[in-house]
Amino acid sequence: MQSESNEQLHLAARLYYVDGWDQAKVAELVRVSQAKVSRLLSLARKRGIVRITVADYDARQRPLESELINHLGLKTAIVIKSMEDLPASKVRELTAHFAAPLIESLIPPGSVLAISGGLSLQTIIHQLPMTSHAPTVVQAVGQMGAHINLWDAQELGRSIAEKWQGKFLLLNAPVYLPNKTACDTMLKLEQIQAVKKKMQEAAVALVEIRSASNSLFADSLGKAERDQLERTHAVGEVCGRYFDNQGRECDTPLKSQSLSIEFETLRHIPQTIGVVTGQEDVIAALAAVRGSLVKSLITDESTAKALLALINSDLTEKKTSLHYHLS
């Protein structure tokens, strides 16, 4: 009975996987019902009669990576292939799946890692492999409100420290204080000073780049604050701080009310990795690179193409302007 069963398994597997016959035709020749063919094929895989292999797949769009590095002077670019018209959440998921294992190579073992919050970062960190990398992870931006979100830097910092058997330093404060006086008072606290000092020792920062209008912190701002950001031409946000199209922090009262890593500190970190997934954030991504807020990028294919199109349009505009002035 066992050899007859194996004969059925081998025949069904051969006809289906090698010869490409559909299950109805396989059922006729193996003398079983069509429903049983599916069970036979499953059993053939379990017993090792069928071993499915997939040709090597490179998930990275390396030509786009090279273009980004050449045009923007980046240290590293990771561009993950994606299908057209995928929902934003699925783009984040696909990018995270293939980018997460690569991030470890960008972070020296035992180093200090500053981390922001964000939906794309949340998806990446959820998929990070367990290692003994042992970093000291520093929360680079305060909480948005009384209720901790799963994408908050606090949650993500704890998660990566746990996965990589490291330590976590908590920035136990809200991201925005009511005024400069309150912020200055908070900054004098010993615990806050210790965290800010550790930020300055970071070898790597992992941050999410978002447009000013797409910022996850936008809902916590009042109308007056949003109006001030609009007047100062805010295009993007990193770590709760807003910047213009040259990557300069917008000069509004919010600048002195924010409890997060300062842009000057961010610029001096040897490797700052910006994560951006979404074409609505490309202007912010370009500005962040221009302002040296990030030195490397992790993104998806469609966002990379949109970013390169923006760069090329800027170059065309400059050439046209130069030609106009010369003539």
pLDDT digits (tens, 9 = 90+) for 164-193: 999 999 999 999 999 999 999 999 999 999
pLDDT at 176: 94
pLDDT at 149: 84
Q: CATH 1.10.10 occupies which residues in the chain?
A: 2-46
| 182 secondary structure, DSSP code | H
**Residues contacting residue 30 through CB under 8 Å, at least 6 positions apart:** 8, 11, 12, 15, 37, 40
pLDDT tens digits for 236-246?
999 999 999 99
Domain 2-46: give its CATH architecture.
Answer: Orthogonal Bundle (1.10)
Which CATH class for the 62-315 domain? alpha beta
pLDDT at 325: 45
Residues of the chain with pLDDT under 50: 1-4, 320-327
Q: What pTM was estimated for this model as a whole?
A: 0.84
Helix (H) or strand (E) holding 137: strand 136-139
Q: CATH 3.40.50.1360 occupies which residues in the chain?
A: 62-315
Alpha-carbon distance of 141 to 210, in angstroms, equals 15
Under 8 Å between Cβ of 98 and 128 = no
